[in-house]
Structure 1
Amino acid sequence: MHPPLTVGVVCDYADEGWPSMDLAAELLDAGLRAHAPGFAPALLRPQMPRAFRRVLPGRAGLNADRLAARHLAYPRWLRRHARGIDLYHVADHSYAHLVHALPAERTVVTCHDLDAFRSLLDPAADPRPAWFRAMSNRLLTGLQRAAHVVCDSDAVHAELLSYGALPPERVSTVPLPAHPDFSAGPHPAADAEAVRLLGPAGGHVDLLHVGSTVARKRIPLLLKAFAELAPVVPAARLVRVGGALQPEQRRIATEHGISDRIVELPFLDRTTLAAVYRRASLVVYPSEREGFGLPLVEAMSCGAPILASDLTVFREVAGDAARYVARDDADGWAEALADEIDRLASPENRAETRDAVLRRAERFTLAAYAGSIAQIYDGVLA
């Protein structure tokens, strides 16, 4: 019996504060440990130096440290401290430049979307200054050097190949799984915490959005649609998990008189977030583009109904288990929200939807994910 091969899981700096990328690395680590006995993962994550934050206050210091740490300190750390490892897996494509500091022929990169490279692949759609393009080029050439690239979705896979960035035989699709903490069953402690955060269940019609407030999430569209819905559904609340609204988003909420009907929660631990999903009247996801949409998988695993933008990648993930909004305006979203709330008021429809999302969620297990990743590792090492 051969000992398991070591996989160095290259993680984002913790100081980045990017929960989705931290989760991607954690899922990889957990999946290999539980379901791939031939591989032993080791998380690689140095501490980010604090050189600039000592002299520059606030965001400026953090951003300066991020830039220097990503491109200078992290490659140097890998060369010194990450030797003797059989295989490497960079869990976040925005760290793909690290392939230059690793044995590329034994390095895999997960590509979650193409935003980090878009200024090079499609400069007309994403014009950027020369310094940014130079940094992106370092990322893209790192991705291109990797032995294999794993995409979360067929949509990202196809888009990457459409630019001719990589040969097809070096790219695969492996959908991210839901963490086992996301389930439809009760969790007394987490359910009690959800009550503490949101009050007793059943008193409101909670529309839940999980994620950041970056532009592609289209929070302003969601706020304006909710403002149209609010007078029609007096019990409706908008619950936001993932941090506070940005100043402009807060201005929109104030201008439309809905600030007192928005509940803002920080990023939550998984079991509490699962409890929040379970009690949601409707999970809403109005993004204009995504590489995958892990909140959809999490919501389905918890039995929650979903209303999402009509994106190819969302249909790839949720299929017929979700409802989709084709229109990209507040009126269209407000109408869809009202229709779905009315439809789900029927216990029969609610139960049917719950069954459908739980069946769909069975495609996104940790075991299936780890098995597919292990096959890719076998191919790389062969």
Structure 2
Amino acid sequence: MRSSGRRSNGVKIGVEGRTLQGERYGVARYLVNLLRNLVELEGEEEYIVYLSQPIVPLDFSSPRMRLEVLGRAPGLTWRHLRLPMAMHRAGVDLHFSPSYFLPLVKVCPSVAVVHDITFKVHPEWFAQDRRFRFDRLFWREVKRAERIVTVSEHSKADIVRILGVEASRVTVIPEAADPFFRPVRDEERLAGVREKYGLEPGFLFTAGAIHTRRNLERLIEAVSRASRDLGEETELLILGTTAPFTPPVDIWGTARRCGMEGRVKHIEYVSEEDLLLLYNACGIFVYPSLYEGFGLPVIEAMACGTPVVCSNVTSLPEVAGDAALYFDPLSVEEMADAVARAMEDGGLREELGRAGMSRAATFSWSRAAAETLRVFREIIA
């Protein structure tokens, strides 16, 4: 079904923007950075960002981008009925989904971003009632996309191997750290954020949605062991909201069992300014994930000059390169040894911080936007 309505001279790209509603983590941060850079590129493309409710204003604007609120509706009704109807009326030339799903009703060519296929590789990490949505509905829709964009070679290999998508239909366009993430040397500001959240200097930090794959229970065990080995009482800050589709993650029970009660702190959300300061104020950023499509917090921490200790699996070695200290995420002992090594070796931390800044600089949102626009134009042509 294609629109026969009145057309403008430009090309209309319809963007599903509901991830911009609420706190902006994950896919929302991806979309904000991509749109900010897309509208700066030369061209006739007009971006219509479809929402179900008004949002907190973005920190940029452009005459080539407008927000259209379609009103609230149940999630499936909004995506599969209200959104395609709106795109049909507007004469949209291409639909861009920044997060996996596409409408069952196809009104124009589409490009979908598949950040990872954790749900397919590890269905046991998802609550039973969500598996139908992530498996049957997702696969039925995504295989109809003219192009799939993903964020790492690892994710592309999984998409091709496990989903059976032709390699020529999958384009890898890596993410990047927002330029906002940078070193902060103002000790007063860093001390202020530690005081605000009740943290001591040298605390360990990890960030990301609370999900089975984030491996937080092993991390707590490893920090407990590393602290005991070094004779210190190290604090661990966990930042992130609980993913709605994950089985329970027992942060507090694990902390009690490991003698970390009172030293494990959990914050669901902080402002972007506080996130910047926390990256800079921590002693080490630790990312113990079992499976990632990219691992954006790793690059954000590196952009701040923070030493990174992380898993040696899936996309993380591809993203972090030679700028991180790695461990096997299934081995509490190996994780503890890596954390302890970084904690006690100031020279290693400085070396990792410098290498991380250089590594983060190799990723660029302006380049990601240019490559994404190239995909749009190839499909529309």
Q: Scaled by the length of structure 1, what TM-score is found?
A: 0.81
Contact 2:307 2:353 in 1 (8 A): yes
- Partner SS, residue 96 of structure 2: strand
Give the helix-richer structure, 1 or 2: 1
Partner of 1:109: 112
The counterpart of 1:92, out of the listed 92, 99, 105, is 99
Partner of 1:61: none
Aligned residues: 350
Give yes or no for the alignment of 1:240 onto 2:238: yes
Q: Deviations over 1:28-62 (max 9, x none)?
A: 212212345543333212149xxxxxxxxxxxxxx
Partner of 2:15: 9
1:118-267 superposed matches below 5 A: 118=121, 132-133=131-132, 136-163=135-162, 165-185=164-184, 191=190, 194-198=193-197, 203-231=200-228, 232-243=230-241, 248-267=250-269
Contact 2:303 2:356 in 1 (8 A): yes
Aligned partners of 2:74, 2:378: CA distance in 1, in Å?
A: 32
Report the Cα offset of residue 20 of structure 1.
Answer: 1.0
Report the Cα offset of residue 269 of structure 1.
Answer: 2.3
Partner of 1:56: none
Partner of 1:29: 35
Aligned partners of 1:313, 1:158: CA distance in 2, in Å?
A: 11
Aligned partners of 2:83, 2:187: CA distance in 1, in Å?
A: 42
Give yes or no for the alignment of 1:361 onto 2:368: no
Aligned partners of 2:126, 2:250: CA distance in 1, in Å?
A: 23
- Partner SS, residue 208 of structure 1: strand
**Aligned in 2, Cα 1:350/1:13: closer, same or farther, shift over 3 Å?**
closer
Contact 2:99 2:114 in 1 (8 A): yes
- Partner SS, residue 85 of structure 2: helix
Residue type at the aligned position of 2:343: I
Partner of 2:74: 69
Partner of 2:61: none
Aligned partners of 1:136, 1:328: CA distance in 2, in Å?
A: 26
Q: Deviations over 1:43-82 (max 9, x none)?
A: 212149xxxxxxxxxxxxxxxxx9x823223322213323
Residue type at the aligned position of 1:73: W
**Aligned in 2, Cα 1:185/1:230: closer, same or farther, shift over 3 Å?**
closer
Q: Scaled by the length of structure 2, what TM-score is found?
A: 0.81
Aligned partners of 2:340, 2:126: CA distance in 1, in Å?
A: 38
Give yes or no for the alignment of 1:372 onto 2:376: no
Q: Deviations over 1:190-224 (max 9, x none)?
A: 75752442468xx5221110012211111110111
**Aligned in 2, Cα 1:379/1:186: closer, same or farther, shift over 3 Å?**
farther
Structure 2 unmatched runs, 5+: 1-7, 55-71
Contact 2:191 2:281 in 1 (8 A): no
Aligned partners of 2:126, 2:238: CA distance in 1, in Å?
A: 31
Report the Cα offset of residue 378 of structure 1.
Answer: 1.6
Residue type at the aligned position of 1:240: I
Partner of 2:45: 39
Partner of 1:331: 333
**Coordinate RMSD, CA, aligned:** 3.1
Aligned partners of 1:154, 1:255: CA distance in 2, in Å?
A: 39
**Aligned in 2, Cα 1:117/1:102: closer, same or farther, shift over 3 Å?**
farther
After TM superposition, the structure 1 stretch with the greater mean CA deviation from structure 2, 259-268 or 369-378, is 259-268
Partner of 1:304: 306
**Aligned in 2, Cα 1:102/1:224: closer, same or farther, shift over 3 Å?**
same
The counterpart of 1:272, out of the listed 256, 270, 274, is 274
Residue type at the aligned position of 2:39: R
Contact 1:117 1:139 in 2 (8 A): no
Partner of 1:288: 290
Aligned partners of 1:171, 1:191: CA distance in 2, in Å?
A: 42
